[in-house]
Amino acid sequence: MSGTSGTPTLVLGGTGYVAGELLRLIAGHPRLHLAGILSDSKPGERVATAFPHLAVAYPDTTYLSLESTEELIRTTPELAVLAAAPHGVSAALIDRLLTVAESAGNRLRVVDISADYRFTQAEAYQAVYKHAHGAAHRLQQFTCALPEHLSRLNTPYVAHPGCFATAMLLALVPLMALQLVEPDFYVSGITGSTGSGRNPVEGTHHPRRHSDLYSYGALAHRHAPEVVGIVERLTGHTARLHFVPHSGPFARGIHATTQARLIRPMSSGEVREALAAFYADQPFVRVLEEAPRMKDIVGTNYAQITAAADGHSIAVMSVIDNLTKGAAGGAIQWLNRLYGWDQTLGLTLPASGWT
């Protein structure tokens, strides 16, 4: 288990897959230690019961109740908070804990992984998620972007984009920022079953998903408006996104193919050179000449991308781990940034391979 020295860290979200991935990464982080993990439905239960693979790191750690979490915040001058609560829950929960910290004169550094703080306007959130935002007055306190795409934060807190959004933004942002393509994107993405969450449903039931591949939410996925909004805020250009997600027969990883028309004729090599220059100072994004493979990044915070062009159109292929780069790893990368540490701290473990 991560030691008791270093920055105390609070995880919100309890027993979900992203919370488990956060715990795994915190255990190996040299400057973070787990001060508490909130599960209002399982207070007092052992974390290792929900995550047996983490028993060696957290043999005796138990979940906190909401009341115990609030007491931890009142008595701790500064806490790092990584929020993996579900959308529709996270906004109000974070608001409540920030209010407790503010009343006590303490400080929280918050990275939210849910969808609740990814939009700048409550109306835009409600249009997608069909319910009112839980803390609309906090929206302007959060910035949503990938760490690679924003050199400076102007808000105290961060919202990490979703997993599919991460895979798409890795392609869309440089293509739009460099004005290489027309602003009409066609994306096909395949995700592993962990992207559907921990609660069993038909779409993630192994006999249904094994050795199968199928689309869902074609041209109507809720991440599309989020991605379009982020692209516009970062590049100043409006994009049109046509996204078809697919469920893959594997547990972890996302493969996304983004297609668009080039503004001027370019070769595959020229496009790859432009992408490599754009990400030259970003250690977690690797631009390859060959096709990226998920086995090379699963379990890591690394992303791999490549591009092919025929002079008139372009295809950018990107692969990430949905639980790491697309969620927990990206959030800790942001947390490193919030503390002024090297953004790679605790995140450079290579892939296991042959997963």
The bridge status of strand 184-191 relative to strand 254-261 is: antiparallel
What one-letter code names the amino acid at 163? C
Catalytic residues: 163
Match 């897959």 to its residue by tokens.
17
Q: Which of 209, 195, 189, 160 is nearest to 323 (CA)?
A: 195
- Answer yes or no: are the C-beta atoms of 32 and 2 closer than 8 Å: yes
- Backbone φ and ψ for 204, nearest 5 degrees, come out as -110, 0
Q: Give the Å distances, CA to CA, from 179 to 171, 200, 219, 256.
A: 12, 43, 24, 21
CB neighbourhood size of 104 (10 A): 14
Match 């809720």 to its residue by tokens.
222
- Answer yes or no: are the C-beta atoms of 18 and 323 closer than 8 Å: yes
